[in-house]
Amino acid sequence: MRSSRVPPDGGFGWVVVAGCALVNIFNQSLVSVFGLMFADYLASLGEHAFGAALVMNMCNISLNFSGLITGPIIKHFKPRKAAILGSLLTGSALTLCSYSTKLWQIVLSYSVTFGFGLGLIQSSTFVALNSYFRHRKGRAVGFALAGTGVGQILMPLLVQYLLSNFNFRDTTLIIGGLAFNGVVGACLLQPVEWHLKDIQSEDDRESQPLLAVDKPGLHTNGTSCSKSSGGWSKLAALMDFAILKQVSFLNLIVGLGLAYTASTSFSLFFPYFLQKSANLTMLEAANCMSVLSTTDLITRVTVPALVDKMEFSHRTTFLLAGICLVVARSVMAEMRSLVPLMITSAFYGIFRSITIVNQNLTVAEYCGEKRIEKMLPNALGFNMVTKGILVLSLGQILGWFADFTGSYSLNLHAQNLLLVTTCVLWLCEMYFKDDE
């Protein structure tokens, strides 16, 4: 019999889940109210669609390319401090926005600072959750992401109320103040070492703690690192560049990046499709979007627990949901009446939620299988950078394709090509791995 200390897989972990949900309510959900909060103010500055698109695209770049340094920050300062810093940055960014009088000032405050803060929050909260759970990761991440869904429902109502009673500066100051509440949630992300539990096991593999302690003089991948190592060697060890030599990891993050690009493009063009291709009224389009958001939120809370019990791998779950998304989006692209569109929107919300919940879990699962859990923060960072590159390149191509064809239905089918590519890449890897 061997005694070892392992994460609680519950216990204080549920407090950490609540903290992550709180951070998401007051920070992650704010992206959805950008247009509502900034549209009129940007118009008053003489900036219209181009200005708004510039701010949001730059924010997306900052968010995803922050992955280059969020990994080392989380490894050095730990998830709690990183999440606190992220919440302070988002709150400060919105506060600065309230005093901005030029587009470049909004780009610096909202796009750069707010985007970087969100990047820190996304990675640090997931790393904290991952460290506390072994068998219930799916439902833990689902509950935490449900905070984003709740915020996306409540924040537009709050912003609309504030704008009708206050001016832009006051509204942005109030929302910025609310963003600082993310610090409260981040403070709940206590180090898992404080809450490890003792277990008895006869299996040496089971007795190994999930969170190994780094030994001085060793890289994360176990290679020796002498004190005389050059700057590049130290940087490579800090950034865990070794993981990029694994073809299976590159295949994983490229697939996730393609799926993310398709999802981002859908969120952008779905309202246009409903109003211009399906010829729905604004109210009918809003109803379809509300149905999608509602089923998305319900799925985040309910389905992960079911998937955990069925013991499917997160990658397999993502793959199956991706295939269902392709079918739902293909059917939706040919619908032209309200009721069928509401039904397909409901199914789309379900399957989209499953892919969102399992994105980072798929990366964590890979690191666990390869016994490189210490590389997880940087693995998440490389995943974010890949998403940023693909959104900037393929996302722009999808936008050009919509303008060139003038058909948002064809644009939905084009988005499916990206997701189909993900499915083909992963299925090929599974096939050849089985042959080995």
Q: What is the distance between the alpha carbons of residues 254 and 383, in angstroms, rounded to a whole number?
A: 8
Average pLDDT score over residue span 203-220: 44
pLDDT value for 435: 55
Give 13-35 pLDDT, tens digit per residue. 999 999 999 999 999 988 878 87
pLDDT value for 1: 59
226 has pLDDT over 60: no
How far from 202 is each of 6, 198, 199, 205, 369, CA to CA, in Å?
Answer: 15, 13, 10, 9, 21
∠ CA 224-132-202, rounded to 5°: 70
pLDDT value for 213: 39
Structural domains of the chain in order of their starting residue, each with its CATH number: 8-194 (1.20.1250.20), 241-435 (1.20.1250.20)
pTM of the model: 0.80
Helix, strand or coil, per DSSP, at residue 198:
strand
225 has pLDDT over 50: no
Q: What is the distance between the alpha carbons of residues 390 and 380, in angstroms, rounded to a whole number?
A: 15
The DSSP string of 247-281 is: HHHHHHHHHHHHHHHHHHHHHHHHHHIIIIIS---
Q: What is the distance between the alpha carbons of residues 377 and 221, in angstroms, rounded to a whole number?
A: 14
Which of the pair, 407 or 200, is modelled with greater confidence?
407
Average pLDDT score over residue span 74-85: 92
Q: Which residues pair with 90 in a beta bridge?
A: none
356 has pLDDT over 50: yes
Give backbone dihedrals phi and psi of 218, rounded to 5 degrees, phi first. -120, 140
pLDDT value for 206: 45
Residue with tokens 């940055």: 89
Q: Considering the chain, what is the average pLDDT of its residues?
A: 85
Give 97-154 pLDDT, tens digit per residue. 999 999 999 999 999 999 999 999 999 999 999 889 888 888 899 999 999 888 888 8
The DSSP string of 49-112 is: HHHHHHHHHHHHHHHHHTHHHHHHHHHHHHHHHHHHHHHHHHHHHHHHHTT--SHHHHIIIIII
Identify which of 4, 336, 29 has the alpha carbon closest to the alpha carbon of residue 155: 29
